[in-house]
Amino acid sequence: MRYLILSDIHANLDALEAVLQAAAASYDRVVVLGDLVGYGPEPNEVIDRVRALDPVAIIRGNHDKVAAGIEDSEGFNAIAQRAASWTLGRLTPQNRDYLVSLPAGPLSLDPLAEICHGAPFDEDAYIFSELDALRALRLSRRQVCLFGHTHFPVVFRLSDTGFDVLTERGESELEVPLEKGVKYLINPGAVGQPRDGDPRAAYGLLDEERRRMKLFRAQYPLEAAQAKVIRAGLPPALAERLAAGR
Protein backbone atom coordinates (compact mmCIF):
# COMPACT_ATOMS: atom_id res chain seq x y z
CA MET A 1 0.00 0.00 0.00
CA ARG A 2 1.21 3.49 -0.86
CA TYR A 3 -0.15 6.23 1.37
CA LEU A 4 -0.35 9.94 0.64
CA ILE A 5 0.24 11.64 4.00
CA LEU A 6 -1.46 15.02 4.46
CA SER A 7 -1.23 17.17 7.56
CA ASP A 8 -2.29 20.68 8.57
CA ILE A 9 -4.23 21.59 5.44
CA HIS A 10 -5.79 24.53 7.32
CA ALA A 11 -8.56 25.36 4.86
CA ASN A 12 -6.06 26.10 2.08
CA LEU A 13 -7.76 24.47 -0.92
CA ASP A 14 -5.23 25.80 -3.45
CA ALA A 15 -2.40 24.06 -1.61
CA LEU A 16 -4.39 20.84 -1.22
CA GLU A 17 -5.26 20.70 -4.93
CA ALA A 18 -1.62 21.28 -5.90
CA VAL A 19 -0.49 18.43 -3.65
CA LEU A 20 -3.15 16.07 -5.02
CA GLN A 21 -2.06 16.92 -8.54
CA ALA A 22 1.66 16.51 -7.78
CA ALA A 23 1.10 13.19 -6.00
CA ALA A 24 -1.45 11.79 -8.46
CA ALA A 25 -0.68 8.20 -9.49
CA SER A 26 1.92 7.87 -6.70
CA TYR A 27 -0.49 6.70 -4.00
CA ASP A 28 -3.31 4.25 -3.31
CA ARG A 29 -4.95 5.74 -0.22
CA VAL A 30 -4.97 9.05 1.66
CA VAL A 31 -4.07 9.55 5.33
CA VAL A 32 -4.82 12.83 7.14
CA LEU A 33 -3.03 13.87 10.36
CA GLY A 34 -5.49 16.57 11.43
CA ASP A 35 -6.11 20.32 11.22
CA LEU A 36 -8.24 20.33 8.10
CA VAL A 37 -9.44 23.82 9.00
CA GLY A 38 -8.41 26.96 10.88
CA TYR A 39 -6.48 29.99 9.51
CA GLY A 40 -7.51 29.44 5.88
CA PRO A 41 -10.39 30.81 3.79
CA GLU A 42 -12.03 27.61 2.45
CA PRO A 43 -12.97 25.30 5.33
CA ASN A 44 -16.08 23.76 3.73
CA GLU A 45 -14.37 23.27 0.38
CA VAL A 46 -11.40 21.54 2.03
CA ILE A 47 -13.59 19.26 4.16
CA ASP A 48 -15.71 18.35 1.12
CA ARG A 49 -12.54 17.55 -0.84
CA VAL A 50 -11.06 15.45 1.97
CA ARG A 51 -14.31 13.54 2.44
CA ALA A 52 -14.40 12.80 -1.29
CA LEU A 53 -10.88 11.35 -1.04
CA ASP A 54 -12.26 8.78 1.44
CA PRO A 55 -9.16 8.69 3.70
CA VAL A 56 -8.16 5.26 4.96
CA ALA A 57 -7.22 6.96 8.25
CA ILE A 58 -7.93 10.45 9.55
CA ILE A 59 -7.64 12.05 12.99
CA ARG A 60 -8.55 15.45 14.40
CA GLY A 61 -6.23 18.36 15.12
CA ASN A 62 -6.58 21.09 17.73
CA HIS A 63 -8.09 23.52 15.19
CA ASP A 64 -10.65 20.91 14.15
CA LYS A 65 -11.69 20.51 17.79
CA VAL A 66 -12.25 24.26 18.16
CA ALA A 67 -14.10 24.54 14.82
CA ALA A 68 -16.29 21.60 15.83
CA GLY A 69 -17.13 23.23 19.15
CA ILE A 70 -15.48 20.41 21.14
CA GLU A 71 -13.01 22.85 22.70
CA ASP A 72 -12.91 26.65 23.09
CA SER A 73 -10.18 28.76 21.52
CA GLU A 74 -8.75 29.99 24.85
CA GLY A 75 -5.27 28.59 24.17
CA PHE A 76 -5.06 30.27 20.73
CA ASN A 77 -3.39 33.61 20.00
CA ALA A 78 -5.58 36.54 18.93
CA ILE A 79 -5.24 35.90 15.19
CA ALA A 80 -5.94 32.17 15.50
CA GLN A 81 -8.97 32.99 17.68
CA ARG A 82 -10.38 35.35 15.05
CA ALA A 83 -9.88 32.72 12.35
CA ALA A 84 -11.45 30.05 14.58
CA SER A 85 -14.62 32.03 15.21
CA TRP A 86 -14.77 32.95 11.49
CA THR A 87 -14.55 29.21 10.68
CA LEU A 88 -17.11 28.26 13.31
CA GLY A 89 -19.60 30.68 11.74
CA ARG A 90 -19.16 29.28 8.24
CA LEU A 91 -19.05 25.51 8.55
CA THR A 92 -22.11 23.70 7.24
CA PRO A 93 -23.81 21.51 9.87
CA GLN A 94 -22.72 18.41 7.93
CA ASN A 95 -19.07 19.46 7.89
CA ARG A 96 -19.18 20.41 11.53
CA ASP A 97 -20.59 16.96 12.33
CA TYR A 98 -17.78 15.44 10.28
CA LEU A 99 -15.17 17.26 12.37
CA VAL A 100 -16.96 16.15 15.56
CA SER A 101 -16.77 12.54 14.33
CA LEU A 102 -12.98 12.56 13.80
CA PRO A 103 -11.11 10.37 16.32
CA ALA A 104 -8.21 11.52 18.48
CA GLY A 105 -4.77 10.10 17.78
CA PRO A 106 -2.76 8.00 18.15
CA LEU A 107 -4.38 5.69 15.61
CA SER A 108 -2.83 2.59 14.07
CA LEU A 109 -2.62 2.74 10.29
CA ASP A 110 -1.27 -0.76 9.69
CA PRO A 111 1.34 -3.07 11.29
CA LEU A 112 4.08 -0.65 10.14
CA ALA A 113 2.78 2.78 11.14
CA GLU A 114 0.61 4.82 13.46
CA ILE A 115 -0.54 8.44 13.22
CA CYS A 116 -1.09 11.28 15.67
CA HIS A 117 -1.62 15.04 15.39
CA GLY A 118 0.76 16.31 18.07
CA ALA A 119 2.40 13.38 19.83
CA PRO A 120 1.52 9.78 20.70
CA PHE A 121 1.39 10.76 24.38
CA ASP A 122 -0.77 13.90 23.88
CA GLU A 123 -2.68 14.87 20.73
CA ASP A 124 -2.06 18.58 21.47
CA ALA A 125 1.66 18.43 22.38
CA TYR A 126 4.22 20.02 20.04
CA ILE A 127 7.28 17.92 19.23
CA PHE A 128 10.12 20.37 18.64
CA SER A 129 12.80 19.24 21.06
CA GLU A 130 14.88 16.10 20.78
CA LEU A 131 13.77 15.17 24.30
CA ASP A 132 10.10 15.14 23.28
CA ALA A 133 10.98 13.30 20.07
CA LEU A 134 12.76 10.60 22.09
CA ARG A 135 9.78 10.26 24.40
CA ALA A 136 7.45 9.91 21.41
CA LEU A 137 9.73 7.34 19.75
CA ARG A 138 9.84 5.23 22.92
CA LEU A 139 6.05 5.39 23.38
CA SER A 140 5.16 4.71 19.76
CA ARG A 141 3.72 1.23 19.24
CA ARG A 142 4.83 1.04 15.61
CA GLN A 143 8.11 1.26 13.73
CA VAL A 144 6.89 4.47 12.10
CA CYS A 145 4.98 7.22 13.89
CA LEU A 146 3.64 10.03 11.67
CA PHE A 147 2.79 13.36 13.29
CA GLY A 148 1.91 16.95 12.41
CA HIS A 149 0.97 20.05 14.41
CA THR A 150 4.33 21.87 14.27
CA HIS A 151 4.08 22.49 10.49
CA PHE A 152 7.77 21.61 10.29
CA PRO A 153 8.94 18.69 8.12
CA VAL A 154 11.38 16.53 10.05
CA VAL A 155 12.50 12.92 10.51
CA PHE A 156 13.75 11.61 13.87
CA ARG A 157 15.45 8.18 13.92
CA LEU A 158 16.17 5.97 16.90
CA SER A 159 18.05 2.67 16.98
CA ASP A 160 20.14 0.74 19.51
CA THR A 161 23.19 2.57 18.24
CA GLY A 162 21.94 6.12 17.99
CA PHE A 163 19.47 8.95 17.56
CA ASP A 164 19.50 11.54 14.80
CA VAL A 165 17.43 14.16 12.99
CA LEU A 166 16.96 14.75 9.25
CA THR A 167 15.43 17.83 7.60
CA GLU A 168 14.77 18.81 3.97
CA ARG A 169 16.97 21.91 3.96
CA GLY A 170 15.36 23.56 0.96
CA GLU A 171 15.27 20.42 -1.18
CA SER A 172 12.13 19.28 -3.02
CA GLU A 173 12.47 15.70 -1.92
CA LEU A 174 13.83 13.76 1.04
CA GLU A 175 13.93 9.99 0.79
CA VAL A 176 14.05 7.92 3.96
CA PRO A 177 14.54 4.15 3.66
CA LEU A 178 12.87 2.43 6.62
CA GLU A 179 15.55 0.14 7.98
CA LYS A 180 15.06 -2.83 10.27
CA GLY A 181 15.83 -2.14 13.92
CA VAL A 182 15.25 1.63 13.54
CA LYS A 183 12.18 3.55 14.76
CA TYR A 184 11.02 6.63 12.89
CA LEU A 185 9.08 9.70 13.99
CA ILE A 186 8.18 11.68 10.89
CA ASN A 187 6.39 14.96 10.26
CA PRO A 188 5.58 15.46 6.54
CA GLY A 189 5.14 19.23 7.10
CA ALA A 190 2.03 21.31 6.52
CA VAL A 191 0.05 21.28 3.29
CA GLY A 192 -1.65 24.60 3.92
CA GLN A 193 0.58 26.68 6.18
CA PRO A 194 4.29 25.74 6.12
CA ARG A 195 6.43 27.25 8.89
CA ASP A 196 9.96 26.17 7.97
CA GLY A 197 10.64 29.19 5.76
CA ASP A 198 9.68 27.37 2.55
CA PRO A 199 6.23 28.52 1.35
CA ARG A 200 5.65 25.46 -0.85
CA ALA A 201 3.04 22.94 0.26
CA ALA A 202 4.54 19.96 2.09
CA TYR A 203 3.40 16.33 2.04
CA GLY A 204 4.65 12.78 2.39
CA LEU A 205 4.39 9.42 0.65
CA LEU A 206 4.74 6.24 2.67
CA ASP A 207 5.35 3.08 0.66
CA GLU A 208 4.60 0.25 3.05
CA GLU A 209 5.76 -2.55 0.73
CA ARG A 210 9.03 -0.93 -0.29
CA ARG A 211 9.62 0.28 3.27
CA ARG A 212 10.26 3.86 2.21
CA MET A 213 9.05 7.31 3.24
CA LYS A 214 9.49 10.35 1.03
CA LEU A 215 8.90 14.00 1.90
CA PHE A 216 7.99 16.39 -0.91
CA ARG A 217 7.24 20.06 -1.61
CA ALA A 218 4.83 21.38 -4.23
CA GLN A 219 4.39 24.88 -5.65
CA TYR A 220 0.83 26.19 -5.50
CA PRO A 221 -0.90 29.43 -6.57
CA LEU A 222 0.08 31.41 -3.50
CA GLU A 223 -1.32 34.77 -4.63
CA ALA A 224 -4.74 33.21 -5.28
CA ALA A 225 -4.78 31.73 -1.78
CA GLN A 226 -3.69 35.05 -0.26
CA ALA A 227 -6.43 36.95 -2.15
CA LYS A 228 -9.02 34.54 -0.74
CA VAL A 229 -7.78 35.19 2.82
CA ILE A 230 -8.18 38.95 2.31
CA ARG A 231 -11.55 38.66 0.55
CA ALA A 232 -12.86 36.47 3.39
CA GLY A 233 -12.07 39.26 5.87
CA LEU A 234 -9.57 37.08 7.75
CA PRO A 235 -6.55 38.83 9.40
CA PRO A 236 -4.08 39.96 6.64
CA ALA A 237 -1.23 38.46 8.68
CA LEU A 238 -2.58 35.05 7.68
CA ALA A 239 -2.05 35.93 4.01
CA GLU A 240 1.44 37.33 4.66
CA ARG A 241 2.65 34.27 6.53
CA LEU A 242 1.76 32.01 3.58
CA ALA A 243 4.30 33.85 1.41
CA ALA A 244 6.91 33.80 4.18
CA GLY A 245 6.34 30.15 4.98
CA ARG A 246 6.35 31.06 8.68
Beta-carbon-side half-sphere exposure of residue 41 (alpha carbons within 13 Å): 21
Stretch that binds Zn ion, among 27-35, 43-51, 196-204, 213-221 (CB under 5 A): 27-35
Q: How far apart are CA 145 and CA 59, in angstroms?
A: 14
Q: Residue 113: is it exposed, middle or buried by C-beta count within 10 angstroms (0-12/13-18/19+)? A: buried
Q: Which is nearer to Zn ion, 8 or 45 (CB)?
A: 8
208 binds Zn ion (CB under 5 A): no
Q: Which of 9, 13, 58 is nearest to 32 (CA)?
A: 58
CB of 180 to Zn ion, least distance (A): 32
State the nearest-atom distance from the C-beta of 238 to Zn ion, in Å.
13
64 binds Zn ion (CB under 5 A): no
Least distance (Å) from Zn ion to the CB of residue 240? Answer: 17
The smaller minimum CB distance to Zn ion, of residues 11 and 205, is found at 11
Residue 123 binding Zn ion, by CB under 5 A? no
Among 35, 45, 64, 208, binds Zn ion (CB under 5 A): 35
Contacts of 74 (CB under 8 A, 6+ apart): none
Closer to Zn ion by Cβ: residue 35 or 45 = 35
Tell me the closest approach of the beta carbon of residue 102 to Zn ion, in angstroms.
14
The smaller minimum CB distance to Zn ion, of residues 65 and 135, is found at 65
The span from the CA of 166 to the CA of 146, in Å, is: 14
Smallest gap from Cβ 38 to Zn ion, in A, equals: 7
**DSSP-assigned beta bridge partners for residue 81:** none
Q: Which is nearer to Zn ion, 145 or 158 (CB)?
A: 145
User: Considering CB under 5 A, how many residues would be counted as binding Zn ion?
Assistant: 2
Nearer to Zn ion, 64 or 208 (CB): 64
How far apart are CB 25 and Zn ion at their closest, in Å?
28
Q: Is 8 in the site for Zn ion (CB under 5 A)?
A: yes
- Long-range Cβ contact pairs of 48-56 (< 8 A, separation 24 or more): 48/95, 49/13, 49/16, 49/17, 50/6, 50/9, 50/16, 51/98, 53/20, 54/30, 55/29, 55/30, 55/31, 56/3, 56/29, 56/30, 56/31, 56/109
Q: Which uninterrupted H or E stretch holds 233?
A: none
* Contacting positions for Zn ion (CB under 5 A): 8, 35
